[in-house]
Amino acid sequence: MYLRAALPLPKTCIFLPVYLALAGCATYSEQPLPKKSLPAKLTTLIEQANHYPNFTQSPISLQKGLSIDDIASLALLNSPILRVSYEQYRVVNADVYNSTLLPDPQISISTDSPLGNSFNAVNAWSAGIGYDLNSLITYKSVADVGERQNRQAKLELIWTAWQVSLQAKILSVDLYYTQKKLALTAEMITAYERRYEHSKAGMIKGDVTLETNATDLSVLLDAYSQSSLLQRELNQYLHQLQQLLGVDNTTRFPFRDFNDPVELSAEEVASYMLDIDKVRPDLLALQAGYDAQEAKVRAAILAQFPAFNLGISTSKDTGGLRTNGLNIGITLPLFNGNKGNILVAQASRKQLEKEYLNRLQQAYTDVSELVQLNEIITVQQTRFTEHLSTMQNLLASARKAYAQGDLAPLPFLTAESTWFNKSLELLDLMRSKWRTQLSLSLLLMRPNKVASEQIVKTGVIYQH
């Protein structure tokens, strides 16, 4: 609907409403794009994290070493991914605010001046004020859409924060256990190099066979290859963690020793699964998105009603005659009637319903997969832990026998290689155990209180 009401025409203040409107307008100031990004220093981040009360479980200290919770806290504080997501949330928030604003009134003013020798003719004018009444009909539904979209965007931001926190922890675990594997490989390389040099010297003297020396060299080269592969993995994990935390590429992370992760029982998992649709931010965001679409359907149906235009105006013609006018216009919904928008809104609502049900089923499947994976890892880890210590004791005796020439190269090196590779595999199992439990904690939303407060406080920090 469009309403035009009579407006007196003061001779000295015709443009006063325009001036008042412009007085409240925003002003433009240029903001050039930064030429480069300046990564933060790890020490600076730690100082900032310790500065905010209740942001960390305990003060972060490089001297004591970093825990995975420390790394997660620093990621929440400075992650470029999270900062971009927060700005995206602000854009959505601004769009929602814009959609709930009522349209401004419209003022129309016109004048006509006689030309030539017009006897007794005067300047003519007309004036009116108008307002779009159609927006009043759908305002409540549009406001509901905005409120639910804002809730959806906020929940998506919270979910992103949890994912950033999880990714920081997983990368910490990857980095920590890759360093462990590199340290073990370095020990083996030192032993292999010493043994190869010894057998090489023995071969020159004629005390060691060519087969033994060649076998020692082959094992050494294999260890070099293993070390090179681990160094590439370490380089990848290190740079990924640096990028996630927004720190410079010279940063290194001194970790404290990791304890075994806390595991959930089957009963606890089943209990958490009952409330997964009530606590998971991504599922709650989809619910809010569906509610917003529901409001859009209602707004589209309300918008199908005929547009009713009502206009009231006042004017004076060149003969000095003043008139008041009333105009009524009705749009006949014969061809459009907003039918297309209604169908689109209803189809979108159905699509969101299917997306939510699919995500909910995916949540159940992901949890079940992780639970079974954890069982497999636990069995294998128990077996390795039990037998590797026995095998290590046997290798100590085998090395002496091999050095004295009492044990053939092939069986000794097969046993030694098996112990070395299975020791590396045990570290991988321990890493997988951590990754599985961390992923489960996110999927089941089993965060501790401090972590929950960090997520909320992150938004407050970013606002400053």
CATH number of the domain bearing residue 177: 1.20.1600.10
Banded pLDDT at 247 (limits 50, 70, 90) = very high
Number of domains the chain contains? 1
Res 306 pLDDT > 80: no
Residues 6+ apart with CB under 8 A from 65: 254, 255, 256, 257
Res 290 pLDDT > 50: yes
Q: Encode pLDDT of 310-349 as tens digits.
A: 677 788 777 777 888 777 667 777 777 778 888 998 999 9
Residue 200 lies in a domain: yes
Parent domain of 141: 2-9+36-117+131-462
Of residues 235 and 298, the one with the higher pLDDT is 235
Res 8 pLDDT > 70: no
Q: Are 164 and 75 in contact (CB under 8 A)?
A: yes
Res 240 pLDDT > 90: yes
Residue 89 lies in a domain: yes
Which tokens sit at 389?
């210590």
Question: Which of 38-42, 101-105, 130-134, 185-189 shows the highest mean pLDDT?
Answer: 185-189
Q: Encode pLDDT of 135-163 as tens digits.
A: 777 788 888 888 899 999 999 999 999 99
Residue 27 lies in a domain: no
**Mean pLDDT value across residues 180-202:** 91
Residue 14 lies in a domain: no
Q: Are 145 and 431 in contact (CB under 8 A)?
A: no
Q: Encode pLDDT of 28-80 as tens digits.
A: 888 888 877 778 899 999 998 888 877 887 899 999 999 999 999 999 988 99
Banded pLDDT at 6 (limits 50, 70, 90) = very low
Give the pTM: 0.84
Summary mean pLDDT of the chain? 84
Residue 210 lies in a domain: yes
Residue 19 lies in a domain: no
Dist. CA 355–CA 351, nearest whole Å: 6
Banded pLDDT at 3 (limits 50, 70, 90) = very low
Question: Which of 4-8, 169-173, 292-296, 317-321 shows the highest mean pLDDT?
Answer: 169-173
Residue 26 lies in a domain: no
Q: Which residue type occupies 433?
A: K
Which tokens sit at 75?
């990621």
Q: Are 155 and 292 in contact (CB under 8 A)?
A: no
Three-state SS at 125 = strand
Dist. CA 234–CA 227, nearest whole Å: 10
Residue 16 lies in a domain: no
**Mean pLDDT value across residues 431-442:** 94
Backbone angles phi, psi at 61, to 5 degrees: -140, 130
